[in-house]
Amino acid sequence: MNQQNNILQPNLFELTGYNTKISYSATSIAGVPLLTYSQNDKTLSFKGEEIRSEETNLGQSVTVTLKSNLADEGFESLTLLLPTINLPEKSLTSSITTLAILSQRPGFIPTNTTGQLQQYQSIFLYGTAQKVES
């Protein structure tokens, strides 16, 4: 007789890459998602509706706005790509590799500007995906 294991989905991701750390909790004790992004000496924290999550063909994309053009500083966002992961019931954690995409575009663009206005930077990440009780 074939016994099927219970498959669990992770809800906490701890990831590290070049000068970058990202912690994303899809659920929390407060009942809302939490994301912390650290790069070099800068740390930004996001919660609830500040985090946009979407299922795509690439997996789940989780996006936060880092800069929203206050004082014409430009727009900057971070999108974390989370692959589909099934965790066996006996092991509530798994190693993963993935990437985040940093998107930047200027805030003030003269009307006669031509060419590419948006720039992308890929950040390769590794770490763990796990199921934790919230």
Mean pLDDT of the chain, nearest integer: 88
Residue 83 · residue 59 · CB < 8 Å:
yes
How far apart are the C-alpha atoms of 21 and 128, rounded to whole Å? 12
On the 0-12 / 13-18 / 19+ scale of CB atoms within 10 A, 65 is middle
Residue 103 · residue 120 · CB < 8 Å:
yes
Residue 3 has a pLDDT of 46
pLDDT at 126 over 80: yes
- On the CB side of 34, CA atoms within 13 Å amount to 12
Residue 112 has a pLDDT of 77
Tell me the domain boundaries of the chain: 7-107+115-129
CATH number for the region 7-107+115-129 comes to: 2.40.128
Question: What is this structure's pTM?
Answer: 0.86
Q: For residue 71, name the pLDDT band (cuts at 50, 70, 90).
A: low
Q: pLDDT tens digits for 15-69?
A: 999 899 999 999 877 789 999 999 999 999 999 999 999 999 999 999 999 988 7
